[in-house]
Amino acid sequence: AHELMLNSEKLSVAGQLAAGIAHEIRNPITAIKGFLQLMEGGVQYKKEFYSVISSEINRIELILSELLSLAKPPLDNYRHKNIGSILQHVVALTRSQATLHNIHITTFIRDKHLNVLCDENKLKQVFINFIKNAIEAMHNGGNITVSAQSDGNRSVIIKIADEGTGIPTEMLREIGKPFFTTKENGTGLGIMVSYEIIKHHNGEVKIDSNSNGTTISVILPISK
């Protein structure tokens, strides 16, 4: 009975996702069509139309590229990689965006030699998603702490802690559903995609949040 429930749950997620994709992509396409029709009719202000069209196309591209990271990675992409270096690289990539928002990122790699069997690029994508969310939740600047520490030699716990708005309890269960976003220009795909990638790595994600901020923990098996 338990299996069955899981299966039907999966189906409904796939259904939800399909309906969401159709909806999210139809909106920009409708807008593009409308502007093309106006242009065909010879209406002035074409320059504005081009920029709307191009930003709508960019939106479709963003949605598709996030969805594409869901495609199951072939197993031979998995390598033993140092988790500390992965995190350092991700922090280097996101630091300038953080600085722009008056945010400082501190990293604590407590155990330097921890490797995980992973698709490095996909794992980086996950940490970038979480750090971007942390930045977007901190409207008045502050600190983000990224840490990694082994947990009894079998797994590594990576934490991304922010001092942002936090997530209201009643919203927590919505987080990670496809297209759930509270942001004007959000896609609501980052967390869902990240969960999937971590699942493919036999890991887990936990969210702890209160009005002082949010901590995302990613737990991954140590490989060697």
Among 20, 84, 164, 190, binds Mg ion (CB under 5 A): 190
User: Residue 139 interacts with ligand ADP (CB under 6 A)?
Assistant: no
Among 181, 195, 208, 223, binds ligand ADP (CB under 6 A): 181
User: Which of 151, 132, 138, 134 minimizes the C-alpha distance to 83?
Assistant: 151
Give the footprint of ligand ADP on residues 185-224 (CB under 6 A). Answer: 186-191, 214
* Secondary structure E strands in 58-212: 79-82, 103-109, 115-118, 142-151, 155-161, 204-210
- How many Cβ atoms are within 10 Å of 31's Cβ, its own excluded? 16
CB of 183 to ligand ADP, least distance (A): 4
In eight-state DSSP terms, residue 77 is G
CB of 171 to ligand ADP, least distance (A): 7
Element (H, E) at 214: strand 213-221
CA distance 16 to 10: 10
Q: Tokens 């242009």, residue?
A: 39
CB of 132 to Mg ion, least distance (A): 6
Which range of residues in 3-11, 26-34, 54-62, 184-192 is near ligand ADP by CB under 6 A? Answer: 184-192
- Here the tokens at position 142 are 């502050």
Choose the contact partner of 125 out of ligand ADP, Mg ion, none; CB within 5 to 8 A by kind.
none
Q: Which is nearer to ligand ADP, 111 or 196 (CB)?
A: 196
The contact pattern for Mg ion, residues 87-106, with x = CB under 5 A and - = no contact, is --------------------
CB of 106 to Mg ion, least distance (A): 21
CA distance 11 to 2: 15
The whole-angstrom distance between residue 52's C-alpha and the CA centroid of its chain comes to 25
Residues in contact with Mg ion by CB under 5 A are: 133, 190
Residues in contact with ligand ADP by CB under 6 A are: 129, 133-134, 137, 162, 164-167, 175, 180-183, 186-191, 214
